[in-house]
Structure 1
Amino acid sequence: MLTRRPIPALAAFVDHLWYVDEPLPPGRDRTLPTGAAQLVVNLAADSLRWYDGERLDKPHSAAGAGLCAVLARPIGVDTADQAATVGLVFRPGGAAAFVDPPVAVLTDPVTGLDELWGRSGATLRERVLSAPTPQARLAVLEQVLLERLVGATGPVRVTGQARAIGSARPADPAHDSALSYAVRALDRGAAVASVVDRLGFSASTFQRRFRAAVGLSPKQFARVRRLQRVLPDATGDDVEWALLAAAHGYADQAHLIHEFRALTGVTPGRYRPRSVDAHNHVPLTDSSNHQLPGRAIMVT
């Protein structure tokens, strides 16, 4: 697995890029909400599959290059689709700079870039596949984002001038200082009401602006990000759940268990991630989360 930070022009919008090319067997995982959108390109096949429904067994698919929306619920994924993939993780609010409708209206877990970007989205996978090396494939993703960011009609050279243009869009949500502050504060565990008071917005204005940019309401985002702070400490047979609940601001152990199940679909006691490095991916089985034969990890 290859990961790296984005070029400076995209640093306000993109957290990191990743590339995987491994022989992975088929299987299905429960993927947990993270509070961030992703752009994913399946290099092995021109499709991205996911599953929803009560048992995460209702199949859906999109084109092989897609935008994975910000969700407050888990979905199922075919891990075989991730054997050869390239993609990037947006910062909260960062995807809004590249999507014409507000990201909050993207209710499907995955939307094909052909639907969002037309021809440029439909040809993205082909452009990525034509690049000769993993690093070059990551660079193609950055190139496409730059083209959309600066409004170019043709290829954009990644020069200092392009970077300067791309980093000077104050109207974009990623450069909105109020929303940036809200994201950071909620990510640290601040109460929504205290953030609203600090910013001086009405509650309805704050809700509307935050949801349009990030894709979740402030409360949903805060819940998901608190879950993300809990997950690294939620494995093993000796977890002190009451202490963990207190450490992360839950009212009590019962509150943590309720929130955990609401956001992941499993109780803390049945949470068995793929590995300590992949705590957002839980193998799906009929009655538990223990590993099945022939399973593979999806990139986060």
Structure 2
Amino acid sequence: MYVSMRPRSPALAPFVSSMGYLEGRFAHARELSLPTGTAQLLVNLDADALHAYPIDGGVTQSAPGAALLGAHGRPSLIDPAEQRAIAWVAFRPGGAYPFFPAPASAVRDQLVPLDELWPGTDLRDRLASSPLAGSARLGGGGGLSGGERRAEAMLAVMERALLEAACRPLSPDPATGVAVRSLARGATVAETADRLGWTPRGLARRFVERVGLTPKRFARVRRLQRLLATDGDWASRAAACGYHDQAHMIHEFRELAGMLPTGYAPRSPGEANHVPV
């Protein structure tokens, strides 16, 4: 079962791109999770544990079943067995900033236990005890299965938890929005800073605090995401996405995705950032 939706609360819409629940089993043992430059809130309802395994022999990151995955600019290995029943919130770039006391840079590329950021919240217990019914209030009923109604009930709990936990004003920062959109379209850091009337150093300081990644790393990650969403052969896609040449694209792909383009085969067409290995 796979349920994905945008937040229903207008207050959350500027900060959260999607919320979802996945329940099922996968045949493969490990998969690469590709970087998006955004943070995610993860709650494993099958087991009280989450892990992020390095691809380069580094240290495995471990957390209880509810954790914040900070904005990541590099790939990691995950275990699909921990996705047998998992709920998530996918934040927009910089979208996690109002909900957590630490600056985004403090959790970059880290899997941080949620109880360290939201003491006493017990979000995993709240989701696990979500009622199976209640679909009428949540917009269900019209053909939804019992499992889908329960998933929507859990996502409503997630929305309430976010609103309760907000520790900064739920007002989008216009400058961060301009920088994110500019860099995501392929503008350079210098061009983006000029657009805002800032120095590149000033842009980097503000961007790292709110988004987590440096502007340059964010731009590289978002270019990879544009590449994955572009059709055609790799050479034409590289040209369309602003790589100097195909060799440059291959180098970037290997560093940011942990594989060569020819090895890229996502687990489903709608899950471009999950690649079985």
Structure 1-normalised TM-score? Answer: 0.81
SS at 1:119's partner residue? coil
User: Matches of 1:169 and 1:69 in 2, distance apart?
Assistant: 19
Instruction: Report matched runs for 1:49-88 at 5 Å.
Output: 49-54=51-56, 58-88=59-89
Where does residue 294 of structure 1 map in the other structure? none
After superposition, the Cα gap between the structure-2 partners of 1:53 and 1:25, relative to the gap in structure 1 and judged at 3 Å, is closer
Task: Show the counterpart of 1:10.
Answer: 12
Match of 1:224 in 2: 221
Q: Contact between 2:93 and 2:180, CA under 8 Å: does it hold in 1?
A: yes
Shift of 1:82: 0.3
1:276-287 aligned at under 5 Å gives the runs 276-284=269-277
Deviation at 1:243, TM superposition (A): 1.9
Which residue number corresponds to residue 181 of structure 1?
A: 178
* TM-score, normalising length: structure 2: 0.88
| 1:112 matched to 2:113 | yes
Please tell me whether residue 194 in structure 1 is matched to residue 196 in structure 2: no
* 1:78 alignment partner AA: D
Shift of the 148–249 alpha-carbon distance from structure 1 to 2, 3 Å rule, reads: same
Report the alpha carbon displacement of residue 180 of structure 1 after superposing the two structures with TM. 0.6
Please state whether the residue corresponding to 1:10 is helix, strand or coil.
Answer: coil
Superposed structure 1 runs of 4+ greater than 3 Å apart = 23-26
Letter in 1 for 2:207: F
Shift in Å, 1:276: 2.0
**Shift in alpha-carbon separation, 1:23–1:270, aligned structure 2, 3 A:** closer
> 1:138 maps to which residue?
155
CA drift of 1:268 comes to: 1.1
Distance 1:241 1:20, change over 3 A: closer
Give the C-alpha shift of residue 109 in structure 1: 2.8
Q: Which runs of 5+ in 2 are unaligned?
A: 132-149
How far did 1:90 drift? 0.4
Give the unaligned 5+ runs of structure 1: 152-165, 285-300
- Corresponding residue for 1:263? 256
SS in 2 for 1:127: helix
Shift of 1:186: 1.2
Where in structure 2 are the equivalents of 1:84-99 lying within 5 Å? 84-99=85-100
- Measured after TM superposition, the shift of residue 25 of structure 1 is 4.9
- Does structure 2 conserve the Cα–Cα contact (< 8 Å) formed by 1:26 and 1:80? no
Q: 2:207 matched to 1:210?
A: yes
Taking structure 1 as reference, are residues 39 and 112 closer, same or farther at Cα in structure 2, changes over 3 Å only? Answer: same
Give the conservation status (yes or no) of the 8 Å contact 1:42–1:65. Answer: yes
Q: Which amino acid aligns with 2:195?
A: R
Instruction: Name the structure 2 match of 1:158.
Output: none
1:124 aligned to 2:123? yes
Q: How many residues align?
A: 257
Give, in angstroms, the shift of residue 21 of structure 1: 1.8
Give matches, 1:148-167, under 5 Å.
148-149=165-166
